[in-house]
Amino acid sequence: MKLKNTLKVQRAKKNVTQQQLADIVCVTRKTINTIENGRFVPSTALALKLAHALDVTVEELFILEEAY
Amino acid sequence: MENKAEILNRNRRKMLFGIVMGFGFWHGSQTLKSFFPEQFTTPGISLFHLVVIILGLTGWIYFVFYCCRMVKMIAVLKKNIRLNQTLNDEFYQQIRMRSFYYAFMGVLITQALLLLFSFFFSVSARSVINLNILVCVITPIVSFILLDQDK
């Protein structure tokens, strides 16, 4: 079961850079980069923070690949 | 302008690299010395002896210098909670845990190799302790640096 994310797309829609998003949710730019690349799966708290920062739901941001 | 957290993050990598190099040379030379004690009991200073002393001293200076810089950085982070949270976010907590896992595996492999080595050669307790300290310190830091690399 693989977790996909639309972070890059949502970020582009809002015209927010990785660094700006990292500053909002209080993580490093590298953390945002690793999440986008699928190398790191964030905790529920961070996923909620990211969703809130990008004004989307967590389900819009993270998708379980098996379900599709 | 580059973000402060990014600058500190890059500096942390540099400091860890400096600490690992310094400790490696300093303690590596001590380990080498413990494996070849006869080289140091003979009268006069041999080339081997001289190289070990110079490497050890250089490593020690390097190690102390980067440790001081690290302590200074920790002091800065203690004053700035938000910056501390950013630099030690969950991704870094995860790679820190993975680094300790690799360190444990490294120590385990070292024990196995030492046991194998002891069947053919005599190994002093001092050599074993020195090698263990070297592996215990170097493996988690090197793992952290490697896991923190941009891919």
CA distances, B78 to each of A24, A29, B67 (Å): 20, 21, 16
Backbone angles phi, psi at A39, to 5 degrees: -85, -20
- DSSP secondary structure code for residue B45 in this structure: -
pLDDT above 70 for B140: yes
pTM, two decimals, is 0.87
| 8 Å CB contact of A28 and B5 | yes
Q: What is the pLDDT of residue B137?
A: 95
Q: Which residue in the set A23, A29, A40 is minimally distant from B94, CB to CB?
A: A40
Say which DSSP state A64 is in.
E
Residue B2 pLDDT class (50, 70, 90 cuts): low
Question: Looking at chain B, which residue has its C-alpha nearest residue A43?
Answer: B90
Amino acid B39: pLDDT: 64
B150 contacts A27? CB cut-off 8 A:
no
pLDDT tens per residue, range B83-94: 999 999 999 999
Which residue did the predictor score with more confidence, B42 or A58? Answer: A58
Q: Do B3 and A19 touch (CB under 8 A)?
A: yes
**B interface residues, A as partner, C-beta within 8 Å:** 3, 5-6, 9, 82, 85-87, 89-92, 94, 148, 150-151
In the structure encoding, which two tokens stand for residue B45, read together? Answer: 């200073």
Residue B17: CB atoms within 10 A of its CB come to 14
pLDDT tens digit string along B32-85?
888 877 666 666 677 778 888 899 999 999 999 999 999 999 999 999 998 999
* The pLDDT of residue B21: 96
Q: Which residues of B touch A39 (CB under 8 A)?
A: 151
Domains of chain A (ranges, CATH numbers): 2-65 (1.10.260.40)
